[in-house]
Amino acid sequence: MASDPLIMFVAGEASGDANAASVIRALGPRVRTFGAGGPKMQAAGMELTLDLTQHAVVGLVEVLKNYAKFRRIFNQLVAEAEKRRPAAVVLVDFPGFNLRFAAQLKKRGIKVIYYISPQLWAWHAGRAKQIERDVALMLTIFPFEKAWYAAHSPRLPVEFVGHPMADWFAVHSQSKIRNPELVLLLPGSREREVAKIWPVMAKVMDAMPHMEFVAAAVNGQTAAMMRHPRLRVEIGTARDWMQQAALAITASGTATMECAFCRCPMVVVYKVNWLTYLVGRALVKVNWLAMPNVIAGRAIVPEFIQHEACPQRIAAAATGLLGDESKRMAMQRELASVISTLGGAGAADRTARAIVTALDPPPSGGDH
């Protein structure tokens, strides 16, 4: 490897910021980094060209409303990459932006490494050929993705590096006694997501008058949206409560995997703008939205999607689990089985090694 190589990173959401930061730390001081991301990547040592996490949106309608802004940001970052000519660019998740960015960098002869694969197996298998064309190396966090790419993009080098959450839980996981009367509410990380899901969760509380509730928010803005006379709201302590609650009622997304790592039984809720839902339903090719179900290949946690996400049905499912310890224990065993497939601790180090190895030119045949 050339001494002090320069690598560009692009991460567009809070989870990508955290996962990329771990990899940047694992790369160490001999690798210089710059790019778009968030405060955690900057704290890990990256030169932050642009805080992209401030602009994260969810849903088709919201993306269309912000199209001009994202186009301006996109062009700015392409120009920065062209000017600085990094040894590689590492794109972290954020597919709506990053897949287009990969195509532009490929045209400019800059090596593209993709960390945390877009969920093409769920919603857009046709893009596999585009990734095969534009990406030099795909680093996946779910083991089944390697076989999926082998079938859909056979020329694409793919390496399974393990799930980044395993690193955090290896250090912070604690064996705490669960409070059998405590329910954790996780309505999502974005304000629009919370706006859709929180009213449903508030009515679930009304339907479960004998339970104790705590809600975990990611920031003050979303915390202010969660109001109920019986509710305690905390910021930034979700994983601690996941290790204490008898049950979580959670939005689909990253939180379902966090609950799985904590072995916290859960009920999953998904509700978005109707146009976004209808477009998504036409595209999605998997039977479940919660990642523990996708990994297991069957419904190990109940899901209530869009019109099914009514308070009475969710409360009935939650009450059924809370009233049956054997069902909760069975779900915990299923979640543990899912986690056992995800590679264990060391994902950031494995990712950093794969990136550094990819920087060296291959012995023959040139770049991918």
101 located within any domain:
yes
pLDDT at 368: 53
368 in any annotated domain: no
pLDDT score at 2: 58
From the list 333, 184, 299, 311, the residue with the least C-alpha distance to 246 is: 184
Instruction: For residue 365, tell me if it sits in a domain.
Output: no
CA–CA dist 101, 134 (Å, integer): 10
Determine the pLDDT at residue 174: 74
191/85 same-domain check: no
- Shared-domain flag, residues 110 and 176: no
pLDDT attached to residue 251: 95
CB atoms within 10 A of CB 235: 13
Domain membership of residue 126 (yes or no) is yes
Q: What share of the chain is helix, strand, coil (3-state, %, to 5)?
A: 50, 20, 30
Whether 364 is in a domain gets the answer: no
Is 155 found in the same domain as 178? Answer: no
pLDDT value, residue 63:
56
SS (H, E, C) the chain: CCCCCEEEEEECCHHHHHHHHHHHHHHCCCCEEEEEECHHHHHCCCEEEEEHHHHCCCCHHHHHHCHHHHHHHHHHHHHHHHHHCCCEEEEECCHHHHHHHHHHHHHCCCCEEEECCCCHHHHCHHHHHHHHHHCCEEEECCCHHHHHHHHHCCCCCEEECCCCHHHHHHHHCCCCCCEEEEEEEECCCCHHHHHHHHHHHHHHHHCCCCCEEEEEECCHHHHHHCCCCCEEEEECCHHHHHCCEEEEEEECCHHHHHHHHCCCCEEEEECCCHHHHHHHHHHCCCCCCCHHHHHHCCCCCCEEEHHHCCHHHHHHHHHHHHCCHHHHHHHHHHHHHHHCCCCCCCHHHHHHHHHHHHHCCCCCCCCC
Q: Are residues 109 and 253 in the same domain?
A: no
Q: Is 75 exposed, middle or buried (0-12, 13-18, 19+ CB in 10 A)?
A: exposed
If asked whether residues 202 and 81 sit together in one domain, one would say no
Q: Is residue 259 part of a domain?
A: yes
Statement to judge: residues 332 and 352 lie in one domain: no
Same domain for 207 and 333: yes
User: Which is it for strands 6-11 and 32-37: parallel, antiparallel or unpaired?
Assistant: parallel
Helix, strand or coil for residue 180? Answer: strand
Within this chain, do residues 78 and 221 fall inside the same structural domain, yes or no?
no
Domain count within the chain: 2
3-state secondary structure of 2: coil
**CA-to-CA distance for 262 and 257, rounded, in angstroms?**
9
pLDDT at 15: 85
Q: Let me know whether 21 and 148 are in one domain.
A: yes
Residue 366 lies in a domain: no
Q: Are 136 and 111 in contact (CB under 8 A)?
A: yes
Same-domain check for residues 111 and 182: no
149 lies in the same domain as 179:
no
Q: Which CATH number belongs to the domain containing residue 206 in this structure?
A: 3.40.50.2000
pTM of the model: 0.86
Which of 44, 14, 1 has the alpha carbon at shortest distance from 191?
Answer: 14
What tokens appear for 299 in the block? 């419904």
Q: How many residues does the chain have?
A: 368
Domain that holds residue 18: 6-162+346-359
Q: Are residues 117 and 261 in the same domain?
A: no
d(CA 273, CA 277): 6
Query: Alpha-carbon torsion 136, 141, 147, 152, what sign?
Result: negative
Tokens of 347: 């994902």
Treating both helix axes as pointing N-terminal to C-terminal, what angle do 254-261 and 325-339 enclose, rounded to 10 degrees? Answer: 100
What's residue 280's pLDDT? 56
The pLDDT score that the predictor gives to residue 285 is 58
* Residue 96 confidence (pLDDT): 86
Token pair 């932006």 is found at: 97
Digitized pLDDT (tens) for each residue of the chain, 368 residues in all: 557 899 999 998 888 999 999 999 999 999 999 999 999 999 999 999 999 887 654 544 555 566 787 889 999 999 999 999 999 999 999 998 999 999 999 999 999 999 999 988 877 788 999 999 999 999 999 999 999 999 999 999 999 999 999 998 888 877 779 999 999 999 998 888 899 999 999 999 999 999 999 999 989 999 999 999 999 999 999 999 999 999 999 999 889 999 999 999 999 998 865 455 555 554 555 577 899 999 999 999 999 987 788 999 999 999 999 999 999 999 999 999 999 999 999 999 999 999 999 997 654 444 45
Is residue 204 in a domain? yes
